[in-house]
Structure 1
Amino acid sequence: MGGNGKVFTLAEVSAHNSPKDCWLVVEGRVYDVTKFLEDHPGGDDVLLSATGKDATDDFEDVGHSSTARALMDEFYVGDIDTATIPTSVKYTPPKQPHYNQDKTPEFIIKLLQFLVPLIILAVAVGVRFYTKSPSA
């Protein structure tokens, strides 16, 4: 198919996402892999799931052979406009309120965290004071 120097946006490539018309982006290059779907050793689902994004990481993670890389030249149709590929966004979990399993109000917990050690100290001093034998 040979590329003619055409540059595609990710939106243009993403429109080719069906078994009858499947394009992928790998290492900044656009490939029309429609004719290869049936022959792909990993199945067509793997290729179809890689449409609409930069599939370079998916491609590299599998560890394709040099033969597979050479075969890609046959399906090359152009390059991707890298400005149209969004940068990866780090996942941040949604903010959730503190979970209080026993439903005890927060101020009671803080109060007990303060008072319990004081009570233990007072009991220890009291026991020491009352058990001290008076010297006669």
Structure 2
Amino acid sequence: MASDPKVHTFEEVAKHNLTKDCWLIISGKVYDVTPFMDDHPGGDEVLLSATGKDATNDFEDVGHSDAAREMMDKYYIGEIDASTVPAKRTYIPPQQAHYNPDKTSQFIIKILQFLVPLLILALAITVRNYTKKE
């Protein structure tokens, strides 16, 4: 590793997201893994999917060997300026719809509000006509 490492911004590192130009952030360090793309056991897609973010968790979840960790030294190109790395986003679930205790659809309620008075009127007219004939 270099004695005086270069400090890179997140924006700068994120631009290197191609097979022919690929940089990764792992544990606060920046690696140019472009020469390793063809040789990576998981394929270049795995490395490309780790660009544009802090790939530390992705790297650690795989459980890389000590040999793989030592191999990283030759791809090291500097440190990441932690203040430029976006904060991790917290998942916010969507708001639930208003709880309708009787499970009746609002559409059905509106239809009934329209139809019930009509049915009452029709019943009243029918009763009136029936009682007139006698």
**What runs of 5+ residues in structure 1 fail to find an aligned partner?**
106-136
RMSD of aligned alpha carbons:
1.6
Q: Secondary structure at the match of 1:88?
A: coil
- Written as runs of structure 1 = structure 2, the 5 A alignment for 1:28-107 is 28-98=28-98, 100=100, 101-103=103-105, 105=109
User: Counterpart of 1:22?
Assistant: 22
**Any idea what the Cα deviations from partners look like across 1:55-110, whole Å, max 9, x if unmatched?**
000000000000000000000000000011122121012224236554165xxxxx
Measure the CA separation in 1 of the matches of 2:76 and 2:20. 17
Measure the CA separation in 2 of the matches of 1:10 and 1:86. 8
Measure the CA separation in 2 of the matches of 1:35 and 1:18. 12
Measure the CA separation in 2 of the matches of 1:98 and 1:69. 52
Report how many aligned residue pairs link the two structures: 104
TM-score by length of 1: 0.71
TM-score by length of 2: 0.72
Measure the CA separation in 1 of the matches of 2:99 and 2:47. 42
AA aligned to 2:47 is L
Percent identical among aligned pairs is 59
- Written as runs of structure 1 = structure 2, the 5 A alignment for 1:1-12 is 2-3=1-2, 4-12=4-12
Could you list the structure 1 runs, at least 4 aligned residues long, displaced by more than 3 angstroms after superposition.
99-102
Measure the CA separation in 1 of the matches of 2:99 and 2:38. 50
